Amino acid sequence: MIFDGYEAFRAADFAPKACILGSGPAGTTIARKLSAAGIPVVVLEAGSREFSNDSQDFYRGITVGDPYFGLDVARLRFMGGSSNHWAGWCRVLDGLDFAPKAWVPDSGWPIGRADIEPFLPDVRDILDLPAFRPDVPVSDEMRWVQLIKSPAVRFADKFADELDRSRNIAVVLDTYVTELAGDGKRVTGARLWSNGRDAGSLAVDYFIVCTGGLENSRLLLWSNERTNGGVVPNAAALGRYWMEHPTFEGGNAILADYGAFEVDAVNEAFFSPTLSAMERLRILNFGIRLVETPYPGVKRIIADLACVAPDMAEWTSSQLSQNLRCAAQLHVAWEQAPLASNRIELSRTDVDHAGVPRIELHWRKSELERRTLLEGLRLFGATLARKNLGRVRIADWILSGADYPTNQETAGNHHMGGTRMGTDVTTSVVDADCKVHGMDNLYVGGSSVFCTSGQANPTTTITALACRLGEHLGKVIAN
């Protein structure tokens, strides 16, 4: 059932056992799992069926530190969440991403990749993915890895009919949870703002917060402030250890054989380090995207010239009225270290239309990230040279230690951390089951629970964790 507002839902007399906040990939997946276990669940969604500027405005906020996207353009606030504009790149975090690393403080998860692997067949169904192939070693220190481009499943489009027909799921649109109430043991209710006004509160047995990788922290910080710690009793890490995937052009390459690596439909191949390389170089995980432009004949010769003598190639190319670039471009997206100082805070000066403080995101890339970019590209270049597969030219700004360019991608729109998973209440917010430490009935879904970011785009892992949480909660609630 889908309701266009809280009043219509209340009139329907549906008695949910659990309340999910948010209908993005995490919330929708958990709702479907609970429904399959026979548990009646309500999904409260702040936005409506379609995009609107009014709804997006609730997402405005500011960033302090490195340049970042506007917080209202880096995500979407309507049914299906940011799946309405995600690009569909899919890969599960590597096994090595879950392991603690001596050279990365606060790294390591309380679960391993083996804990989410049983859910990968479900994830493939949900995201319409073929099977993943295993990584292929290029050397002892580099892997040829796979990112699969899903058809970029829009969760609202794919699942709206199923949700509407469901007897166990009620999706309530235009219903914004402005805060949770709690007594330090249990959440006792959710305060609602529906169709532009206060709509009272809802009490159920279980609450699962799936409002996205920025909003999960915002809602819990605000709820905690209003209840004097009644919602997240151990809040030292709340909002902290926030991470993105820095994303920049790393240079280019001349390949000895453009057929050496099978490329995907858009002529791309991906490379990552092995754990031993990361350990030797004391760096983070990274992904190099090699984008090939398959120029024919003489254009290929000029494109190769562009890799080593860009000015000369530009002149030659212009004489032929062409615009030819080096035929193999390198783009790097890489892991960010979990730092407590990268954090979400509540604004002290600005609130949204419902009176909830907006986000003040404090975000900076560290020295370790800078070193990972340089050493990662050097490692890739040395690997290609040693195997005689090609030669790499690293971008000048990286070699010279200049500032990050301001006219490039910057980051991945991947919002991770803030309510991270762990066993230590001083450095984590949820336990290995995604339950908030110290609370009996409050859970969190989405990439805010990530302890480390790895280099892979997050939604495949978000969906796997959501399947795991949904099945776990199905058993907890049934008992």
Measured from the CB of residue 78, what is the shortest distance to ligand FAD in angstroms?
Answer: 6
Q: Spell out, one character per residue from 81 to 110, where the chain touches ligand FAD: x when CB under 6 A holds, - when not.
A: xxx-xxxxx---------------------
Among 182, 246, 287, 458, binds ligand FAD (CB under 6 A): 458
Output 177 or 337, the one with its CB closest to ligand FAD.
177
Tell me the closest approach of the beta carbon of residue 36 to ligand FAD, in angstroms. Answer: 18
Shortest Å, Cβ 404 to ligand FAD:
20
| Both structure tokens of 257 | 């054989």
Q: Is 349 left (phi over 0), alpha (psi -120 to 50) or beta?
A: alpha
**Beta carbons of 453 and 335 less than 8 angstroms apart:** yes
| C-beta closer to ligand FAD: residue 18 or 177 | 177
Q: Binding of ligand FAD at residue 469 (CB under 6 A)?
A: no
Chain center to CA of 281: 26
The structure tokens listed for 49 are 């069926």
- Which of 2, 23, 10, 58 lies closest to 196 in space, CA to CA? 58
Residue 46 CB, nearest distance to ligand FAD (Å)? Answer: 4
CB of 195 to ligand FAD, least distance (A): 13
Quick note: the x/- pattern for ligand FAD over 158-197, rule CB under 6 A, is: ------------------xx--------------------
Of 447 and 452, which has the nearer Cβ to ligand FAD?
Answer: 447
- List C-alpha distances in Å: 138 to 260, 266, 372: 11, 21, 19
Q: Which of 305, 444, 459, 469 binds ligand FAD (CB under 6 A)?
A: 459
By CB under 6 A, the residues from 205 to 264 that bind ligand FAD are 210-212, 215, 219
What is the token pair recorded at 419? Answer: 């309510």
Token pair in block for residue 99: 């392991």
Tokens encoding 129: 């993915």
Question: Shortest approach of ligand FAD to residue 359 CB, angstroms?
Answer: 11
Query: From the CB of 256, what's the least distance to ligand FAD, in Å?
Result: 31
| CA nearest neighbour of 21 among 179, 153, 232 | 179
Per-residue x/- mask for ligand FAD, residues 373 to 412, rule CB under 6 A?
A: ----------------------------------------
Backbone angles phi, psi at 170, to 5 degrees: -115, 120
Lookup result for tokens 């730092």: 339
By beta-carbon proximity to ligand FAD, the closer residue of 6 and 380 is 6
Residues 67-86 within binding reach of ligand FAD (CB under 6 A): 74-75, 77-78, 81-83, 85-86
Rounded Cα gap, residues 477 and 27, in angstroms: 17
* CA–CA gap between residue 252 and residue 380 (Å, rounded): 11
Contacts of 382 (CB under 8 A, 6+ apart): none
* Strands annotated E in 352-452: 357-363, 390-394, 410-411, 416-418, 442-444
CA pair distance 330, 249, nearest whole angstrom: 6
Instruction: CB nearer to ligand FAD: give 44 or 129.
Output: 44
Residues 344-373 that bind ligand FAD (CB under 6 A): none
Number of residues counted as binding ligand FAD (CB under 6 A): 39
Q: Nearest distance from residue 247's CB to ligand FAD, in Å?
A: 11
- Closest separation in Å from C-beta 117 to ligand FAD: 18
Beta carbons of 157 and 118 less than 8 angstroms apart: no
Cα 445 to Cα 8: distance, rounded to the nearest angstrom:
27
Determine, following the binding rule CB under 6 A, whether residue 46 of this chain makes contact with ligand FAD: yes
Alpha helices in 285-362, H assignment, sequence order:
297-308, 310-319
Cβ–Cβ under 8 Å, residues 392 and 377: yes
As a whole number of Å, the end-to-end CA separation of the chain is 25
Which of 18, 19, 26, 255 is in the footprint of ligand FAD by CB under 6 A?
A: 26
- Write down the least CB distance from residue 403 to ligand FAD, Å: 24
* Shortest distance in whole angstroms from residue 68 CB to ligand FAD: 12
Measured from the CB atom, the residue of 46 and 451 that comes closer to ligand FAD is 46
> Does the protein bind ligand FAD through residue 413 (CB under 6 A)?
yes
Q: Which two tokens stand for residue 193?
A: 């703002």
CB-wise, 217 or 383, nearer to ligand FAD? Answer: 217
The Cα 294–Cα 297 span in angstroms is 10
Task: Map the footprint of ligand FAD across residues 426-455, applying CB under 6 A.
Answer: 446-447
Measured between alpha carbons, how far is 28 from 162 in angstroms, rounded to an integer? 11
Binding site residues, ligand FAD, CB under 6 A: 21-27, 44-47, 74-75, 77-78, 81-83, 85-89, 176-177, 210-212, 215, 219, 413-414, 446-447, 457-460, 462
